[in-house]
A and B are shown apart, each in its own frame.
Chain A
Amino acid sequence: MKRSQSFIRWFFLLIPCLALSGCWDRRELDEIAIVMGSGVDLTDDGQIELSLQIALPMGIQGNMQMAGKKKPVMLVSSKGTVSQDQIGQIQQQLSRRIFFGHRAVFIIGENFARHGVDQTLDTMLRFPDSRYNCFILTSKGATAKEVLSSPYPLEVIPSIGMKNMQVGKYTFAERIDKFLDSFAAKGFMPATGAIRLIKNGQESSFVIDGEAVYRENKLVGYLSGTHSKAFKLMRDQGSGMKIPVRIEPAGKLSTGMITADLLTTRREVRTFVSQGPPKIEVEFRAKGRIIANDTTLDLSKPANLSRAEQMLSNELQKMISGLIEQTQKEFQSDVLGFGDILHIQHPYAWKKLQTEWLDTYPEVPVKVLASVILERIGRTQKPGHLPK
């Protein structure tokens, strides 16, 4: 009796050992093709083109001496009608298995975005090795493939360069999950950073200096300049932003401009529902410091400082209302998520509003208030170079 029992116990324990050793999903490092960035385009003949930037371990290993000889990445692409099918086609070009776990960026080509982003979105979520910490970008004036094949001198792998730009706070960054979430939301339209190619002397490179605005699933336009800045402020990615403003007419020795660096920003949105379209009030508050004073004024004097604060507040107010007007009139897209706030503040009214919010939004009156507090003015009081 005892012997048979212990035999059965050993049987229970030993069989799993056999099964545990044979792993169907085993993937060794030298068997996978690590995708660092991927992009999707619509070609002129209506096909979808998928491009993958794959890291070449051989190119990275040799460090700086080798870097010139071997390329650190390779670009593969394939055309077709279904994006998932093209991954299979690309696989046929590769001796290693495609692995998406380290994908840093996903670039949507401008042409593709304008015709509607749809089927590729599902691929991002359904795959077990798709990760959330991948950034979404939309290309501007170039295809995603061109952007992915552009070299980038500062990093070994260009996609890592894009990722680090997005992690740093100087570009508008949107991750996959938030992007998908805004597709599903009724009161919140998707937006991504916009990436375009530039030439630095002889070398070509890329820059992320604007935002792509979507309406439902279609790209409707790009934000740039002050509107792009205002957009980052409104999406709580504005700390560290530099805002120049004129506070006195240009003189002989000065341009009359100061530049403020925003330290913390806070936006508050209030919505009002009564008869007719709802009303929206945006209150924007920021704390900042002066980092450049090219005027004749001594900012340590309270009167001058409050003048600077006043001018800055006006400037921010103008920037934000300009942005809102552009989203309402030009894009007709609620990228700032006012609908979501309306949903939270007036849930019962929203039930009626949500069906036609896309058409209501351009008509909604928005009032913008902005106020800035300057906490510090830097190491000097009066500009040091001015004659006493």
Chain B
Amino acid sequence: MKVTGLQVFWMILIMEVGMTLVMTLTPGVQAAKQDLWIAILVAGLITLLITFLVTNVTLLYPGQNLIELSQTILGKWLGKAVIVIYLVQWYTIIPIVLRQFADVINIMIMPETPKWAIMLIMILLFSYAAYSNGIVTISRCSEILGPIIILMVILVLLSSVNNIRLTNLLPVYADSGALNIIRGSLPSASYLGHSVEYLMLAAFLYQPRKGTPYAYWATIGSILVVTVALAMAIATIGINLTPTLWYPFFEMTRKISLFGFVENLDPLTIVTWVASVFIKLAVYMFITAYGTAQFLGIRKWRPLVIILAPIMLWFALIPRNVTEATTNYLMNYWVPFVLPVNMIGLPLLLLIVGKLRLRAQA
């Protein structure tokens, strides 16, 4: 199973853009108000730091993925402890993303379809992608879907140009202040921080040493797309309504009205967004199955996909309502724990210990 650098670029870009656009705008705006675009640039700096750490860690032992890497660097037991922390992240993010996906579909277009039906279709689809040929299938899919998704975002932005009122972005800074901007940047940073999955993906590259620029470009690309898109969403909807809507980005596409007959484009956007959710879930499904197999010393990872799929569906039905799935998970686990520990702390630890170890060997 090998992938090219370009495929890794698209995978990381899709994982970062899709969910960030839809999920982080509301919590971000609630803190940073109309200065969210500054907050996202701050989040971008944090994300670039994460990418820097992650790419340098993979360069220490090219060809090893996170599971092998952490045991090589930190020794067997400490390494396994680190892996457990990441496994918790992977095992919880799949059900949550799945649930968030079902919530979007329920809230925006299909209020009466039961959520298990929506989830079932999605889980079978991405499990198929992960099962059939692992990372190769997924990366080829993302190579095709990635440009379509970005094209959709650009199209939505272009056709919203006549709806924006830039005065909605004023006054700059006065209403929020530095502290609120940083608070508003955290949700976006935690979603943009998916470059941390490069730790797992890098080992599958044909040339693991040359993957670094692709990871950087994916990060920079998604920061740009997200900044422009979210600033436009605020400029379109206005600062009074944005914090009260669940998915302001979709509401923006709802307002598109061109020449009096191109209207109600939101189902189109939601469908393309579903493609990005599919890639994200498939990547996570694959690395979870593959990582678990390696962690437990199981030779075949494929059967794990079949075992994991129903478990994930069951987990996804646990959150009682939309707030628990979207807000609570983000604000109580993802932002305060995953962002500082999984995305910054542990890669930093691996990098420092790994460097010292290599120096000691040399």
Q: Which residues of chain A have a CB within 8 Å of any CB of chain B? A: 5, 8-9, 12-13, 15-16, 19-20, 22-25, 101, 125, 128, 131-133, 167, 177, 180-181, 184-185, 340, 343-345, 347-348
Contacts and interface: CB of A to CB of B under 8 A. Distances in A.
Given A19-B117, A133-B257, A12 B112 contact: no
A343 B257 CA distance: 29
B109 interface: yes
A348 B322 CA distance: 36
Contacts of A15: 120, 124
B174 A25 contact: no
Contacts of A167: 260
Contacts of A25: 109-113
A131 B240 CA distance: 18
B170 A131 contact: no
Nearest to A22: B117
16 contacts: A8-B131, A9-B131, A9-B132, A16-B121, A16-B125, A19-B120, A23-B113, A24-B110, A25-B111, A25-B112, A25-B113, A128-B107, A132-B254, A133-B263, A343-B171, A344-B170
A181 B174 contact: no
Contact of A181 (B112, B170, B241): B241
Given A133-B257, A348-B174, A180 B114 contact: no
B304 interface: no
A181 B109 CA distance: 23
B237 interface: yes
DSSP class of A's interface residues: helix, strand, loop or mixed? helix
Contacts of B175: 347
Contacts of B128: 9, 12-13
B209 interface: no
A345 B172 CA distance: 10
A24 B121 CA distance: 14
A130 B293 CA distance: 48
A16 B244 CA distance: 34
B306 interface: yes
Among A12, A131, A167, find the residue whose CB has the most chain B CB atoms closer than 10 A. Answer: A12
A125 B246 CA distance: 11
A81 B120 CA distance: 40
Contacts of B171: 343-345, 347
Contacts of A181: 237-238, 240-241
B174 A16 contact: no
Interface in B14-58: none
Given A19-B121, A347-B171, 14 more contacts: A13-B124, A16-B120, A19-B117, A22-B117, A23-B113, A24-B117, A125-B241, A125-B245, A128-B109, A131-B264, A132-B254, A184-B240, A184-B241, A185-B240
Nearest to A337: B167
Interface in B80-118: 107-114, 117
A2 to B, nearest CB: 12
Given A9-B132, A16-B120, A19-B120, A128 B174 contact: no
B302 interface: yes
A5 B305 CA distance: 12
B127 interface: yes
Contacts of B306: 8
B185 to A, nearest CB: 20
Contacts of B238: 177, 181
Nearest to B255: A132
B255 A177 contact: yes
A167 B260 CA distance: 9
B242 to A, nearest CB: 10
Nearest to B126: A12
A24 B112 contact: yes
Interface in B122-136: 124-125, 127-128, 131-132
A19 B263 CA distance: 29
A23 B114 CA distance: 10
A132 B252 CA distance: 10
A22 B241 CA distance: 35
A20 B112 contact: no
Contacts of A8: 131, 306
Contacts of B117: 19, 22, 24
Contacts of B263: 133
Interface in B268-285: none
Contacts of A347: 171, 174-175
Sorted nearest first, the 8 A-B pairs with minimum C-beta distance are A347-B174, A12-B128, A184-B240, A347-B171, A24-B113, A25-B110, A344-B170, A16-B121
B5 to A, nearest CB: 28
Contacts of B302: 5
B148 to A, nearest CB: 20
Interface string B157-197: 00000000001001100110000000000000000000000
A177 B237 contact: yes
A12 B125 contact: yes
A8 B255 CA distance: 43
A132 B237 CA distance: 11
Contacts of A22: 117
A101 B266 CA distance: 13
B164 to A, nearest CB: 13
Contacts of A133: 255, 257, 263
Nearest to B133: A9
Contacts of B111: 25, 128
